[in-house]
Amino acid sequence: MRDDKNEHDLMDDLERMDRFLEGTEAGDVPLEILRTRGIEMPDETTLDDAALHRVLWLVIEGMAELGMFIDSTDHLSDRELYRYLAGALLEETVLSESSAGAEFLSPIGGCSEEDNEIYLKYYADDEDRRTWQTDGFPIPAHEPRPYDRDRLMPHHRPEESEDGAQPS
């Protein structure tokens, strides 16, 4: 059975997303949205390691509720990731109250030489490393990721339909 209300809401969200991407509709700063929901990001120098870890996960879970997901973080300590997120959540703008998609962040998503080196060092599999080497990139020695966080991160899961089937 077709749900005209949900289809209409989705169309409204997609039209809103188009306006946002065209620059004709303003977005919201994620850190401000989190604050209105009771999630603060105090200056990291005021937090001991245990408190910073707790706040970091509150922020990560709050981001997921906003449709923001992060990956490739296992090379960063909690404190380094907290610093990255504090900056990214002030620099980004998102459409709040929209179901038209998700936003994905990565501390190595800028494709700088440093980002590429980190990717090759910690995240690339053997096939990717061979491809990059064939393309002439210097390949750093592979190292194990110093932290094990990415597997615990919330992941974007498209909404299931009423009958439990995934959308096509």
Please give the average per-residue pLDDT across 129-149, as a whole number.
92
Q: Is the pLDDT at 69 greater than 70, yes or no? A: yes
Question: What angle, 0 to 180 degrees and rounded to 10, lies between the N-to-C axes of helices 49-65 and 78-91?
Answer: 40
Domain limits of the chain?
12-108+147-152
Please give the average per-residue pLDDT across 57-83, as a whole number.
94
Q: Is 98 helix (H, G, I), strand (E, B) or coil?
A: coil
Please give the average per-residue pLDDT across 100-127, as a whole number.
89
Candidates 120, 94, 92, 90; CA nearest to 108 is 120
**Residue-averaged pLDDT of the chain:** 82
Candidates 77, 73, 85; CA nearest to 152 is 73
Please give the average per-residue pLDDT across 46-71, as a whole number.
94
Rounded to the nearest 5°, which phi and psi values hold at 103? -115, 140
Q: What is the pLDDT of residue 138?
A: 87
Q: Is the pLDDT at 154 greater than 60, yes or no? A: yes
Q: What is the pLDDT of residue 162?
A: 41
Q: What is the pLDDT of residue 165?
A: 45
Please give the average per-residue pLDDT across 81-104, as a whole number.
76
* CA–CA dist 110, 72 (Å, integer): 12
Band of pLDDT at residue 163, cut at 50, 70 and 90: very low
pLDDT top residue among 146 and 103:
146
Band of pLDDT at residue 88, cut at 50, 70 and 90: confident
Band of pLDDT at residue 94, cut at 50, 70 and 90: low
* CA–CA dist 24, 162 (Å, integer): 34
Candidates 110, 41, 115; CA nearest to 78 is 41
Q: Is the pLDDT at 41 greater than 80, yes or no? A: yes
Pick from 18-27, 37-46, 82-91: least confident: 18-27
Candidates 23, 22, 40; CA nearest to 31 is 40
Rounded to the nearest 5°, which phi and psi values hold at 44? -60, -25
